[in-house]
Amino acid sequence: MAEKRVLMKGNEVIAEAALRAGCRNYFGYPITPQTEVMHYMAKKMVQIGGNFVQAESEVAAINMVYGAAAAGFRVMTSSSSPGISLKQEGISYIAGAELPAVVVNIVRAGPGLGGILPAQSDYFQATKGGGHGDYRNIVIAPASVQELYEMTVEAFNLADKYRMLAMIMGDGTLGQMMEPVAFRDVEPIVNVEKPWAASGRNGRAEHNVVTSIYINPDDLEAKNNELKAKYDYIEENEVRFEEINCEDADIVLVAYSTCSRICKNVMKQAAQKGLKVGMLRPITLWPFPHKKINEIAAKSNVKAFLSVELSNGQMVEDVKLAVNGQKPVHFFGRNGGNLPSQKEILDRIIEINENPMGGAL
């Protein structure tokens, strides 16, 4: 018999995934287009005896996350772009204190209050810092409601495994849309021992301290180098991507999440016109699939890259770094809450196919 699939909204599936991953602590503040995550948590947490707090602000919510994570509990908050900006101080502290937590950003168009429609213009913020200091977050970009389920569970596991923040990066399209989802068994829930947690002495002589303050410069440098070694290990071991038809492609699209869905349809149309178009879809935005893109760029069949985004050109900078001058890199994006049409992308591909250097960045 076919697997049972239910029609659910992306935002609700994120919340359900968190509950199935053992998250019993959610703190948040409402903002369109992610508020259904809160709605779902508000209803379900009470039923299962977890903690739900609608905080007085995003800043309060992220600091409640810090507290719950420090005490050793699985914890999540969610918001959308302006709210995620407010959380950046707390996110930096979480990185400094090496706490596992999951933060969901259902991105809307910025800057400022911007608009409430879908965008991918928080790529820089998510992958290049956001808050202060030398730190990284794992950033995962699901492309369907099914993946929102699987990857939210995965985010909790990665956060615990590496004692760091894992961010689920969606957009208004993904959060608001309904699609079928099968709550199939994913990675077994890892119950990581947390001997560092500030959860009482448990018979030890000393209590644990969770902090991000290291006043002595040598201590802080040693801590930062420790973090760097962890990040290097993750870059080697946790890169995730999907590669489609790159073996004999003339043009390789690079697109994630919602844009990758549109690009998959564009690829079919391009094939009908006899164009050889492949796609590299980053699933982890950090660690970014630099190595893979560099390998593809070295193939003799590849003439050019095209980064397609809901922004004015952010991920394309990482694509250029990865391609490292081997092939021309192009950009096409819509922003402000608009999505590119298949035709717009296809037209750009046709132009690049005729003149791979024309308009390259």
Partner 1 sequence: MIDFSIILAGFGGQGILSAGKMAAEAALYEGKEVSWFPSYGPEMRGGTANCSVVISDEPIGSPVVNDADVLICLNQPSVEKFESYLKPGGILIIDSSLFTVEPTRTDIKFIPMGASQIATDLGNMAFATISMLGCMSEATGCFSKESFESALYQILPERRHKFIPGNMEAFSKGAEFAK
Using rule CB under 8 A, residue 103 touches partner 1 = no
Nearer to partner 1, 5 or 299 (CB): 5
CA distances from 351 to 76, 169, 328 (A): 44, 31, 13
Spatial separation of the C-alpha atoms in residues 294 and 321, rounded to whole Å: 9
Using rule CB under 8 A, residue 271 touches partner 1 = no
Pairing state between β 251-254 and 304-309: parallel
Nearer to partner 1, 220 or 244 (CB): 244
Tell me the residue length of the chain. 361
Applying CB under 8 A, among 43, 46, 113, 178 the residue interacting with partner 1 is 178
Applying CB under 8 A, among 44, 261, 292, 303 the residue interacting with partner 1 is 261
Using rule CB under 8 A, residue 20 touches partner 1 = no
| Site map (CB under 8 A) of partner 1, residues 299-318, x = contact | --------------------
Secondary-structure breakdown of the chain: helix, strand, coil percentages, each rounded to the nearest 5: 40, 20, 40
Using rule CB under 8 A, residue 114 touches partner 1 = no
Query: Position of tokens 């959060």?
Result: 175
Applying CB under 8 A, among 134, 179, 238, 295 the residue interacting with partner 1 is 179
> Contact at 8 Å (CB) between 333 and 310?
yes
Spatial separation of the C-alpha atoms in residues 244 and 255, rounded to whole Å: 12
Spatial separation of the C-alpha atoms in residues 227 and 210, rounded to whole Å: 15
Smallest gap from residue 176 Cβ to partner 1 (A): 5
Applying CB under 8 A, among 44, 240, 264, 292 the residue interacting with partner 1 is 264
CA distances from 153 to 9, 12, 169, 228, 330 (A): 17, 14, 14, 25, 34
Query: Position of tokens 């689920």?
Result: 168
Tell me the Cα Rg of the chain.
21
Nearer to partner 1, 116 or 210 (CB): 116
Using rule CB under 8 A, residue 357 touches partner 1 = no
Using rule CB under 8 A, residue 39 touches partner 1 = no
Using rule CB under 8 A, residue 277 touches partner 1 = no
Tokens of 128: 């290049």
Select the span of 84-92, 173-181, 184-192, 290-298 touching partner 1 (CB under 8 A): 173-181
Applying CB under 8 A, among 20, 24, 32, 82 the residue interacting with partner 1 is 32
Q: Which residues bind partner 1 (CB under 8 A)?
A: 2, 5, 7, 32-33, 116-117, 144, 172-173, 176-180, 258, 261-266, 337, 339, 341-342
